[in-house]
Amino acid sequence: MDMMEKLEILTASAKYDVACTSSGSDRKNQAGGLGNAVSMGICHSFAADGRCISLLKVLMTNGCIYDCAYCVNRKSNQTRRAALSPEELADLTMQFYRRNYIEGLFLSSGIMRSPDYTTEQMIAALERLRNTYHFRGYIHVKAIPGADDVLLSRLGLLADRMSVNIELPSRESLGRLAPDKSKNSILKPMSLIKEKINENRSDLVKYNHAPRFAPAGQSTQMIIGATPDTDYRILTLTEGLYRKYGLKRVFFSAYTPVVEHSLLPALDTKPPLLREHRLYQADWLLRFYGFQAGELLDEAAPNFNPLLDPKCSWAVNHREQFPVEINRAAYEQLLRVPGIGVRSAQRIVKARRAGALDFAALKKLGVVLKRAQFFITCKGKMLEGLKVSEHTLLRSLMSGQELAALEPPQYEQLTLFNDSDLAALPAAGIAAHKRGDWP
């Protein structure tokens, strides 16, 4: 099998692994080295199926000793298999980098022989990149659950970001669809990576040239829609992962049926992309807006409203907390108003020190008044002429696509003339008759 065939198989197998993020690691090139890692702005691209992919996203092998029902690379799936040697992977990365195709590497792998052997192969590839080619660009590597702690520690010293895929949101789902994996085998490397990152921070304070361990932190991924787990369960788990393991990101991947299995959705089921989008919006609220999972969902309402984004949905269900007076509200209260983001809330706090704000000023500060007008007052008054009815409120909070789905299509009889031309015809006819132009 030539290199092109291997690349075709291994990049196609890797596209279900999401990592749409900037590197978060900042490192300049040195004399004799090659490449830079930039904390923000690493280029991303989109696959044909709409998924965001970044860097050279490739597997070392799509062969696997595990038989996870949801995975296209599971051992019982009849598909073409390929593998790259550490030398081939390192050489391929450098060729892509020198052609300016990529700015870094996203490396994952199926399990070859054992987790330890697979991790050793990945270490060999990264050591060749870092030590032989002196490649200093960004590297994101997937840690293999079940690998020895010593091997994972070596891997973390070679990569900028590490991630351990949690895959499914509950122990029950994991046991049913991925019997070769366990909750402990996934959470143990997460805990190790967190400890190593914390130790490394202390070492860097004492020793300026101490090697850095995964400076861009760790992340994980969950598959959405392959199991009956609710949004509430997924969001609660997400919140716990951020708090306990200090993750940089939790990625959600809408399940795309690629293999037939009695425990999975049918092959003609569409990926739940809107649900994935709502979870990303809620994830943003957890990380930057001070929300908690229990505020957005609960056991009684365990799934997000498909018509409203999570922040608007929360505001509609908590009207007793509104309206908020823009000129006196705390920063945390402003963040909870639909139409006010982090940046516009910061601008409001800064601008109102110079004088009281009105609705015209809010618009200049970037506030989306179409949404915010129902939840705020300026100088004690709501927007002049505003009618707050349930129908108006919901229509204003829904986006154009959501509204289009609710509104029936408007039909119109085609004509060669527009309305203004037709309206002028009677008057033109009378004038022509008076002139005697018509018989």
Give the residue extent of every domain in the chain: 3-24+38-217, 311-406
Tell me the C-alpha to C-alpha distance, in Å, between residue 32 and each of 131, 269, 434.
11, 52, 94
Q: What is the pLDDT of residue 435?
A: 58
Q: What is the pLDDT of residue 413?
A: 57
Q: What angle do helix axes 231-245 and 183-206 make, rounded to 10 degrees?
A: 30
- Does the CA dihedral 322-323-329-333 come out positive or negative? positive
Give the dihedral of Cα atoms 374, 357, 346, 335; nearest 10 deg.
Answer: -20
Return left, alpha or beta for 157; rule: phi > 0 is left, psi -120 to 50 is alpha, else beta: alpha
Burial class from Cβ neighbours inside 10 Å (0-12, 13-18, 19+) for residue 93 reads buried
* Separation of alpha carbons 233 and 303, rounded Å: 9
Closest CA to 252 of 184, 166, 142: 166
Q: Find where tokens 């598909």 sit.
A: 79
Other Cβ atoms closer than 10 A to 286: 20
Q: What is the pLDDT of residue 41?
A: 44
Beta bridge partners of residue 141, listed in sequence order: 107, 162
Q: Find where tokens 């904390």 sit.
A: 39
List per-residue pLDDT tens for the chain, 439 residues long. Answer: 888 888 888 888 777 776 655 555 666 777 777 666 655 545 565 555 565 556 788 889 988 998 888 888 888 888 889 999 999 999 999 988 888 778 888 899 999 889 999 999 999 999 999 999 999 888 889 999 889 999 999 999 999 889 998 888 888 888 888 888 888 888 999 999 999 999 988 888 888 788 889 988 899 999 999 888 999 999 999 999 999 999 988 999 898 887 788 888 888 888 899 999 999 999 999 999 999 999 999 999 999 988 889 999 999 999 999 999 999 999 999 999 999 999 999 999 999 999 999 999 999 999 999 899 999 999 999 888 877 777 777 777 776 665 555 555 555 555 555 555 555 555 555 565 555 554 4
Q: Find where tokens 């022989």 sit.
A: 113
Determine contact, residues 220/250, Cβ cutoff 8 Å: yes
Other Cβ atoms closer than 10 A to 261: 16
DSSP state of 321: G
Q: What is the pLDDT of residue 390?
A: 74
Determine contact, residues 96/89, Cβ cutoff 8 Å: no
Q: What is the pLDDT of residue 11?
A: 80
Q: What is the pLDDT of residue 423?
A: 57
DSSP state of 261: -
Determine contact, residues 142/193, Cβ cutoff 8 Å: no
Q: Which helix (H) or strand (E) holds 420?
A: helix 419-435
* Separation of alpha carbons 6 and 105, rounded Å: 17
Determine contact, residues 224/252, Cβ cutoff 8 Å: yes
Q: Tell me which fold the domain 3-24+38-217 belongs to.
A: TIM Barrel (3.20.20)
* Separation of alpha carbons 241 and 219, rounded Å: 9
